[in-house]
Amino acid sequence: MDGSAFNPHNIYANFIATIESITVWDVMDFLLLVAMFFVVIRLMRETRATQLFKGIMLLLVVLLIMAISPLKVTSFLFQNLIQVGLLAVVIVFQPELRRMLEKIGNAKVMKVKQLPEQRRERTIQGIADACEQLSRTKTSAVILIEQKDSLDGWIEKSTVINAEPDVQLFCNLFYFKAPMHNTAVVVSSDRIYSAGCVLKGTNSDSDEEARFEVVKNLVDSTDALAVIASEKTGKLSFLKKGQFTEMVYDPKEKIKINLRSGMSIAEDEGEKNLNFLDTVAAREEAILGIADACERLSRTRTGALIVIERQTKLGDIIEQSTVIDAKPDPDFMCNLFYNKAPLHDGAVIVRGNRLYAAGCFLPMTSKGQYIDSDLGSRHRAAVGMTENSDALVIVVSEETGIISVAESGQLTRSINQQDPRKWLTNILQDRMPAVAKKRRFGWKNRSAKNGD
């Protein structure tokens, strides 16, 4: 063998020649390949297809080793098995591959971070649309828009939900006779910050006039804005320091005009820290909150679907929902599932120790013939969810109030349990994953004293 091939000078010369031979098209080819690889990983990371992708990469490595090795018979058999395996992969993982293609079709070419003005306009639109519906249905509502002055001193009790300004969620929170309907909602920056807010000087039994006076005092003493919907007349009112405007003609547009003139959004979303710790105590609190909510829902025969996320990320479902970040507070959960409220037919996703999303619609099971005929669509959706992921799903029947748990495509009902709440608590203690890290978000620091 010619030893000159290992001469450092030759190696350097070959390297320089290779670099000089690279064209712009070669660079574009490489960047395109990297981009495609990144997109595929991003689309697959929140489904079971992640495990599929890891398996394929391992097989490709083994196939490469076989190709350069002298093991001809083993290499031949392995290559033929790969061809059959690819067909099996397409059949077995058809739902995941279909979802991935759907995400490619629905995805934007590039996610552009919204400017403060865009976020502000989105929030104003959400409030105005919600107020229009609340006015039309004569639903009592108080929406407080926090500015620079903190409203913590005016609120005795609340549940931090950190939710998108979603119209259905607004209407769900104020739905007549739902647990939180006689309370206020606080909007801070571009989020629904908290719900179920009991203002000092009021309680859940306070009439509309009493709550209106407290809100008026709050607005006169701070820089907050407020929108009030009357359940008696359906009229909308806008309150600002030293200003009271009743929206009589074209109320939706007037709400927008008033909010645009007084509402501000922070220039920089920044690093938010709501002081939420995922500890053993937080996990225990979440379990008890879910169990208490299920007991109340069972007692009132209110249908509910609660999905406990485990290793498989449920991004495909969460994208079709209202994203929130709240404690599993029994009042809030019962409010979400209140009969005929806007979000009551959807499921709630629990991620870690938090309610992550609401109004989620789950895939139905493909094995409907194996489920009792007296069970409805919620139970079929629960089984379907556990066929497509490792999630644990809790179902409360609105016909019987019976609590059921679905896991790995199997449904277990609490029919013979003397204490369904204790039974459910024990299941959650065994199955609910523990998270031991601090959760961080993206807006201004707030204390967690108001019910969270």
The helix (run of H) or strand (run of E) holding residue 225 is strand 225-229
In a domain, 440, yes or no: no
In a domain, 448, yes or no: no
Q: Are residues 126 and 101 in the same domain?
A: no
Q: Give the number of domains in the chain.
A: 3
Cα atoms in the Cβ-side hemisphere of radius 13 Å centred on 129? 12
CA nearest to 197, candidates 149, 227, 157 = 157
Reported as a pLDDT band with limits 50, 70 and 90, residue 109 is very low
Q: Based on C-alpha coordinates, what's the Rg of the chain?
A: 28
The helix (run of H) or strand (run of E) holding residue 292 is helix 280-299
Q: Are residues 124 and 218 in the same domain?
A: yes
Q: Are residues 243 and 320 in the same domain?
A: no
Tokens in use for 145?
């828009």
Estimate the crossing angle of helix 420-431 against helix 280-299, to 10 degrees.
Answer: 150
Please state whether the predicted TM-score (pTM) of the whole model is above 0.85: no
Query: What are 319-364's pLDDT values in tens digits?
Result: 568 889 898 999 999 999 999 899 999 999 999 888 999 999 888 7
* Distance separating alpha carbons of residues 384 and 395, to the nearest angstrom: 12
Q: Are residues 293 and 340 in the same domain?
A: yes
Q: Are residues 61 and 21 in the same domain?
A: yes
The DSSP result for 153-207, as a single string, is: GGEEEEEEEEE---HHHHHHHT-TTSTTTTSEEEEETTEEEEEEEEETT--TT--
Of 56-65, 250-259, 262-271, 408-417, minimum mean pLDDT range: 262-271
Report which of residues 243 and 73 the model is more confident about. 243
Q: Are residues 134 and 169 in the same domain?
A: yes
In a domain, 438, yes or no: no
Report which of residues 240 and 36 the model is more confident about. 240
CA nearest to 137, candidates 158, 167, 165 = 167
In a domain, 451, yes or no: no
Query: What are 119-164's pLDDT values in tens digits?
Result: 889 999 999 999 999 999 999 999 999 999 999 899 998 999 999 8
CB 53 within 8 A of CB 89: no
- The mean pLDDT value of the chain amounts to 80
In a domain, 267, yes or no: no
CB 310 within 8 A of CB 392: yes
In a domain, 290, yes or no: yes
Q: Are residues 33 and 167 in the same domain?
A: no
Task: Give the model's pLDDT for residue 35.
Answer: 82
Judged against a pLDDT cut of 80, whether residue 258 lies above it is answered with: yes
Mean pLDDT over residues 103-109, rounded? 51
Question: Tokens 């939420």 map to which residue?
Answer: 276
SS3 255: helix
The DSSP result for 106-160, as a single string, is: HS-SS-PPPPHHHHHHHHHHHHHHHHHHHHHTT--EEEEEE-SS--GGGEEEEEE
Q: Are residues 291 and 425 in the same domain?
A: yes
In a domain, 210, yes or no: yes
Tokens in use for 95?
């739902």
Q: Are residues 286 and 410 in the same domain?
A: yes
Domain limits for position 20: 3-106
In a domain, 436, yes or no: no
- Domain C-terminal end among 204, 232, 262: 262
Q: How do 347-351 and 354-360 pair as beta strands?
A: antiparallel
Of 8-12, 134-138, 219-223, minimum mean pLDDT range: 8-12
Give the CATH number for residue 359.
3.40.1700.10
Task: Give the model's pLDDT for residue 269.
Answer: 47
CA nearest to 450, candidates 157, 191, 179 = 157
Q: Are residues 295 and 250 in the same domain?
A: no
Q: Are residues 298 and 396 in the same domain?
A: yes
Mean pLDDT over residues 235-239, rounded? 93
Q: Are residues 89 and 166 in the same domain?
A: no
